[in-house]
Amino acid sequence: MESTQPKSVPPCPFTKLYPSQLIRDEAFFRKLAYNQAIDAWKAGEVPIGAVIEYEGQIIGADHNRVESTQDPTAHAEILAITQAARHRGDWRLNGARLFVTKEPCPMCSGATAMARISHVYYAHTDPKMGCL
C-alpha cells in the first residue's frame, strides 16, 4: 500500500539573502533567484529559482514546481516566463533578462529563445542537462 504521507524534506542548509533595494544590478537579481531556489528546496522541489527583469523591474519570478503540480514542464524558467508574458501582455520579452540558479535545460532554453529574452545569467553549469 502506498503511503499518502508527504515525503520528508531535509532542512535547508542555506539562508535567504536580502539584497539592497537601492542597487538593482545583476547581483541583486541573482540573489532573488537564489531565494526562489531556497523556497523550492523548502517545498520539496528541485532547488532552482528564476527571476525575469525588465528595465529594473521584476516581471516574473518563480521556482520549480514539478513535484507539487505533477507537471514535468513546471520548471522555474517556464513559470517565470509565463508570469513575465502576462505582466507585459505580450509573449515577446525583448529586452528582458533571465536570472536562474542553474543552466537551463533544453526545454527551458527553447522557451527562453521563443520568448526572445535578451540575456540569460545562470549561477551553475549543468553538464548533464544544460543547453546553453
Among the options 45, 55, 67, 77, which is catalytic? 77
What burial class does residue 104 get, using C-beta atoms within 10 Å of its C-beta: 0-12 exposed, 13-18 middle, 19+ buried?
A: buried
Structural Rg of the chain based on CA atoms: 15
- Indicate the SS3 state at residue 19: coil
Q: Which residue has the cell 548533464?
A: 128
> Which residues make beta-bridge pairs with 97?
53, 119
> Which residues make beta-bridge pairs with 58?
53
Active site residue 77: yes
- Show which residues are catalytic: 77
